[in-house]
């Protein structure tokens, strides 16, 4: 089923045609005004995003360091437990012999 320009005119009628003509006439006025208003808003949003990104980089770096410290502590505790287990097994075998 193909779309035809006449389908739009039949569906929209006179109010649709008037709105279309109004949009064409007002576009040169409305678009620059929207750009003038939208540009500062867009810049503010971008600045906010940059600030949030910079802050999150610091927070994530600090969180990474904390995580690495916890992993190192856990590995040290596991190594200590393993060496204690080997010492206990060694003493048990020497006491038995």
Non-local CB neighbours of 8 within 8 Å, separated by 6+ positions: 16
pLDDT digits (tens, 9 = 90+) for 50-79: 999 888 888 999 999 999 999 999 999 999
In a domain, 75, yes or no: no
For residue 90, the model assigns a pLDDT of 74
In a domain, 77, yes or no: no
In a domain, 2, yes or no: yes
For residue 28, the model assigns a pLDDT of 80
C-alpha dihedral sign at 7, 12, 17, 22: negative
For residue 63, the model assigns a pLDDT of 93
In a domain, 62, yes or no: yes
In a domain, 28, yes or no: yes
In a domain, 33, yes or no: yes
In a domain, 11, yes or no: yes
DSSP secondary structure of 21-53: HHHHHHHHHHHHHHHHHHHHHHHHHHHHHHHHH
Distance of alpha carbon 45 from the chain centroid? 14
Its domain, for residue 55, covers 1-68
Predicted model pTM? 0.42
pLDDT digits (tens, 9 = 90+) for 15-44: 766 777 777 777 787 778 778 888 888 899
For residue 21, the model assigns a pLDDT of 78
How many folded domains does the chain comprise? Answer: 1
For residue 69, the model assigns a pLDDT of 96
């Amino acid at each position: 089923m193909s779309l035809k320009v006449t389908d739009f005119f039949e569906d929209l009628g006179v109010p649709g045609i008037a709105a279309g003509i109004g949009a064409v006439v007002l576009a040169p006025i409305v678009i620059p005004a929207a750009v003038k208003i939208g540009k500062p808003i867009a810049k503010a949003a971008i600045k906010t995003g940059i600030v949030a990104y910079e802050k999150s980089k610091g927070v994530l770096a600090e969180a990474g360091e904390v995580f690495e410290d916890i992993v190192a502590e856990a590995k040290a505790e596991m190594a200590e437990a393993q060496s204690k287990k080997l010492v206990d097994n060694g003493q048990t075998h020497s006491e038995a012999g």
